[in-house]
Chain A
Amino acid sequence: MMSNNSNTASRQFVPTPAQPAPNMSAGFVAWVRDNLFSSISNSIITLIVIAFFVSVIPGIIDWAFISATWSGADQSACNKEGACWVFINAWSQQLFYGSYTDGELWRVNLCLILLALTVISSFTLPKSFRLKLSIPLFLVLPFICIAILDGRLLGLEYVDTDYWGGFSLNILMAAAAIIISFPFSFLWALGRRSQMPLARSISVILIEFFRGIPVLALFFMGSVMLPMFFSEGTNVDKLIRVWLVLIFFMSGYMAEVFRGGFQAVPKGQYEAADSVGLSYWQKTLLIILPQVIKVSMPNILATFVMLFKNTVFLLIIGIPEIVQTLQTALSNSNWLGGWAIEGYVFVFLIFWVCCFGMSLLASKIERDLDTDKRD
């Protein structure tokens, strides 16, 4: 090494070929020794863990695959030894789309695709107009989706909100709530940083209120208390009421996310914007907001995952999201065989895949941001 270094100026750097690894420090056996059996306590833990998996996994595989029933028309095809995937199969449309009118399912799919496209576009559009385009896109998306799903405005067949449901409702509800919460939370976060004492205290109260009470209580408010608040004779749809409640719930959380984002933006940015004579709103919207959104991205995703998981609680107030649909299915007199485990395992898996995917995405964005900072 030393000799190489001293000569680099005069001739090309030629590394000496690497020494072969000493016996037993590479390869599988060595890896196992280093990572699994490096000490006595480690070995014991390793053995316990392996023993646990060996005793549990075969039973699960047998239940889920080998003895399971995959095809059939009703529960008479199933046996008690294995899983009855027939149940999931028969109810799959309900579990995904709720009772949405049969021939109109393309509308739900369209909304899901639009959502996916908007999300993808906000990552892939050219940087020059990415924010200018994707923020308005996001903000109109929920209303477009409502128009598509509802159908009256577009001259399609009218589908009442009572028929919306299933897993698609979990996704769309969560997305619609977090998107519309953006402007509110942004305003509240600004208010919390504002110099105006009243505006600040009102923002703090709103944020702390919606963060401080359980989401279940909020849903109850949406379903039981809100109808009392509207003037007599006005009737706001239950789904819309819950959506409103969710928006405010989310605004509380997102306001805190944005507050963190505001604090992460260097002071010089504010001062630079002030020095070129931008007004407050120009400064906030054009200079600060884009940076805040960028910095907050991992937290926004994490908050979305939280909200997405919380949509399950909608079942407590009888909104036919996926778990509610599952419970409806379990209480149908033709399916009274007790197929709860199959149902919950299925829901378990769906949620896990979605949430895990999003948390992977969040940590990837976080890593990308980290490298940005180092540049």
Chain B
Amino acid sequence: MFQKKTTEQIKAATRPSAQKKAGAFYNNPQIRAIFYQTLLVVGLLYFFYAIVNNTLTNMEASGIKSGFGFLSTAAGYDILMSLISFESTDTYLRVFIVGFLNTILVSAIGIFFATILGFIFGVAYFSKNWLIRTISTAYVEIFRNIPLLLQVFFWYFAVLAALPGPRDSLSFGEAIFLNVRGLFTPKLVGSDGSTLVYIALGIAVVGIFVLRSWAKKRQELTGQQFPLLWGSLGLVIGLPLLVALFTDLPFTVDYPALKGFSFKGGITIIPELMALSLALSVYGGAFIAEAVRAGIQSVPKGQSEAARSIGLKENKIMSLVVVPQAMRVIVPLLNSEYQSLVKNSTLAAAIGYPDLFNVFVGTALNQTGQAIETIFMTIIVYFILNMMISFLMNRFNNNVELTGR
């Protein structure tokens, strides 16, 4: 047992190379990593191969057409609303584009109003008025906890469907009409000189950015603030208006008018769009209000107390001190809320708003029977949209973080 080992023997037993031998190559973490990953990739490759193979065999066996050839064939059905012109003789590709634009439209409207609602109710949670606080809490708790689908039904079949018919529309100054068919507003139609006005509008938009950087510089130098919001609004409205007056108003107004069954002319905002936007904004707003609330709560009390002690007014404390700091918490949450809002816009199918999902996975799939192609194209679009939102919000987040520090 207690044989005396020679130094040589001890050295041999404890030499690193010997250890390695005992430990063997499969305990080397690097080799293990390579092994696991190879296994993973081979498995995945086999998995996809099996799927593709099965699908092709299945489709051949049941005699289903495949490929994207259907995109260039005529759709043969009409779409309720399109931002570009659409006839039933147009192709499925155009159906795809129309649906895509409609999805963008409703998502943008939804994001815009959800953000406004969310900030209003999120801030209202800290109001001094008990009723407002309660309503803010009630709003969040009610709308967050009911499936969105039911809310879409509610707005469409209970609220908007209760509006009067076209012949007894609610009219606002005989120019804007609201009825069960939608909201009808006048439209500006540009004539000859109108390009100048558009150019003026473009200049005004550029002007805002110039104004903004100037105001920022001035504030940093002198501490004086410039009423940026009013300044920008004045620029955007005033400059084109001025040009329009000088060029003798090169516009005609196209008023909606009751003709035949419904209103013709002007701009029509269909109730499907209204209902879906309402549902998306109210539902998204409830979640954003939660995010805003969490954000404001994350700002240490000392910040607002300090602001109060140097004599800032309450509304300035919120907008200049608390909210900018809260944004660091709010923005990442906003990111995911915006993404889910875009995904939730697929509920358009429930009330017939012609978004991408409805016209493509809904109708086109049914008419062509080409499930894989249509679903694939649609999924890709939503995927890209979400990536874009994520990208933009991350950039915005970087901005917020910098100014925060």
Q: Give the interface of A toward B (CB within 8 A).
A: 31, 34-36, 38-39, 42, 45-46, 49-50, 195-199, 202, 209, 211-217, 220-221, 224-225, 227-232, 305, 309-310, 312-313, 315-316, 323, 340-341, 344, 347-348, 351-352, 355-356, 359
Contact = CB atoms under 8 A, between A and B. Distances in A.
Nearest to A224: B371
Nearest to B371: A224
B132 A213 contact: no
A196 B33 contact: yes
17 contacts: A31-B130, A34-B128, A35-B131, A36-B131, A45-B131, A196-B37, A199-B40, A212-B382, A212-B386, A228-B54, A228-B58, A232-B54, A305-B145, A309-B147, A312-B149, A359-B144, A359-B145
Contact of A228 (B59, B129, B142): B59
A355 B148 CA distance: 13
Contacts of B82: none
Nearest to B365: A224
Given A36-B129, A46-B129, A217-B357, A228 B344 contact: no
Contact of B37 (A198, A212, A315): A198
Contacts of B214: none
Interface in B21-61: 33, 36-37, 40-41, 44, 50-51, 54-55, 57-59, 61
Contact of B375 (A212, A220, A313): A220
A292 to B, nearest CB: 20
A216 B349 CA distance: 10
Contact of B387 (A212, A224, A316, A347): A212
Given A217-B375, A351-B147, 20 more contacts: A35-B129, A45-B129, A45-B132, A46-B131, A196-B33, A199-B37, A211-B386, A216-B347, A217-B382, A220-B361, A220-B371, A229-B51, A231-B54, A309-B147, A310-B147, A313-B149, A344-B150, A347-B150, A355-B145, A359-B144
B13 interface: no
A229 B375 contact: no
B146 interface: yes
A230 B54 contact: yes
Interface of B: 33, 36-37, 40-41, 44, 50-51, 54-55, 57-59, 61, 128-132, 135, 141-142, 144-150, 153-154, 157-158, 339, 343-344, 346-347, 349-350, 357, 361, 365, 371-372, 375, 378-379, 382-383, 386-387
Contact of B154 (A50, A220, A344): A344
Nearest to B55: A228
Nearest to B140: A359
A198 B51 CA distance: 21
A195 B344 CA distance: 35
Q: Which of B128, B149, B154, B344 has the most CB of A within 10 A?
A: B149
A312 B37 CA distance: 38
Contacts of A35: 128-131
Given A36-B129, A351-B150, A217 B346 contact: yes
A38 B58 CA distance: 72
A341 B161 CA distance: 13
A347 B149 CA distance: 11
A228 B371 contact: yes
Contacts of B50: 231
B54 A359 contact: no
Nearest to B361: A220
Q: Is the interface of A mostly helix, strand, loop or mixed?
A: helix
Nearest to B344: A214
A352 B339 CA distance: 24
B129 A351 contact: no
A309 B144 CA distance: 10
Given A232-B54, A352-B146, A213 B128 contact: no
Given A224-B371, A225-B372, A351-B146, A216 B346 contact: yes
Contacts of B154: 344, 348
Contacts of B144: 355, 359
A213 B382 contact: yes
A36 B129 CA distance: 5
Nearest to A195: B33
A196 B372 contact: no
B149 A323 contact: yes
Q: Which of A36, A309, A355 has the most CB of B within 10 A?
A: A309
Contacts of A355: 144-146
A49 B135 contact: yes
B157 A340 contact: yes
A348 B145 contact: no
B129 A216 contact: no
Contacts of B59: 228
B344 A198 contact: no
B145 A356 contact: yes
Contacts of B128: 34-35, 38-39, 42
Given A213-B379, A232-B61, A202 B146 contact: no
B149 A212 contact: no
Nearest to B380: A213
Nearest to A41: B129
B161 to A, nearest CB: 11
Contacts of B339: 211-212
